[in-house]
Amino acid sequence: MDNDATRLLDLAVTTAQETGRMLVEGQAGASVVQTKSSPTDIVTEMDKAADDLVSRRLREARPEDALLTEESGASAGGSGVRWVVDPIDGTVNYLYGMLDWAVSIAAEVDGEAVAGVVEVPARGETYTAVRGRGAWRTRAGRWPEPIFCSTGVPLNRALVATGFGYASERRAHQAEVLVGVLPNVRDIRRGGSAAVDLCSLACGRVDAYYERGVNAWDIGAAGLIAAEAGARVGGLAGRPASPEMTIAAPEPLFTALNDLLTPLDPERDS
């Protein structure tokens, strides 16, 4: 099988855009069909339909690849490629008719993300990256443009995107952490989609991002896009990005944010 990153990206983009169109058509009638970790952690029938469509298209094109999706979990493969898929990142925004929700598809080769797309249909924006070839945004009807993080922004002037988990106790502690962050930055933004937040970082709409509780599918593609746009993407205190903590910003802002967060103990359980 051909594991060339550019060809993997082409398949990811075609699939994400088809899925985005289906989601736009189904948005008005979408409703909650299931809850997961808490009553506010919702799944709509469109999350499931989008998960099915992405999985079907990837399997048709590349039956030997492994797959990890938010709604169907993991399936093994033997090609060395694994697709990491969030069919809708920002499901609550999708349900409420807000703009920031996305289809996110990343391709990993031998465990490393090499290509990714974040399709944001309501904004008419497609964010892409191939490892080592920069990050790009394509707006409806325009040519692709390279995108870059803002640089040289000190912590006290930084617009910082973040998000919150679905469990009440975790949210209570996230609010305490925020009390320590807010007086030290320009402001915070809670956009409602980790994937879109990281793409906003990649194109300079925010300066930094941190969040506890994001999963591989939330940041698989967007983490690569942010890194290719100039961000360092990692965890707290030199650890790799993980569900415990993901921080993203260009240096030296990454280190300044890490140093602000560390004494606030953002990975504590409550």
Residues that bind ligand IPD (CB under 6 A): 70, 86, 89-91, 163-165, 192-194, 211, 213-214, 218
For 135, how many CA atoms within 13 A lie in the half-sphere containing its CB?
Answer: 26
Nearer to Ca ion, 32 or 264 (CB): 32
Q: Specify the residue, 102 or 130, whose C-beta has the smaller distance to ligand IPD.
A: 102
Rounded Cα gap, residues 75 and 48, in angstroms: 16
Q: Which of 100, 211, 218, 267 binds Ca ion (CB under 5 A)?
A: 218
86 touches Ca ion (CB under 5 A): yes
Q: How far is the CB of 175 from ligand IPD (least distance, A)?
A: 13
Rounded to whole angstroms, the Cα distance separating 209 from 218 reads 13
Strand bridging mode 208-211 / 246-249 = antiparallel
**Exactly one of 89, 100, 125, 207 binds Ca ion (CB under 5 A); which one?**
89
Minimum CB–partner distance for residue 218 and Ca ion (Å): 4
Number of CB atoms found within 10 A of residue 59's CB = 15
* DSSP run (H or E) holding 159: strand 159-162
CB of 195 to ligand IPD, least distance (A): 6
Contact 222, 161 (CB under 8 A): no
Which residue, 5 or 12, has its beta carbon nearer to ligand IPD? Answer: 12
**Residue in this structure with the two tokens 């599918």, named with its chain if needed:** 217
**In terms of CB distance, is 130 or 214 closer to ligand IPD?**
214
Q: What are phi and psi of 262, to 5 degrees?
A: -55, -50
User: Which residues make up the interface to Ca ion (CB under 5 A)?
Assistant: 86, 89, 218
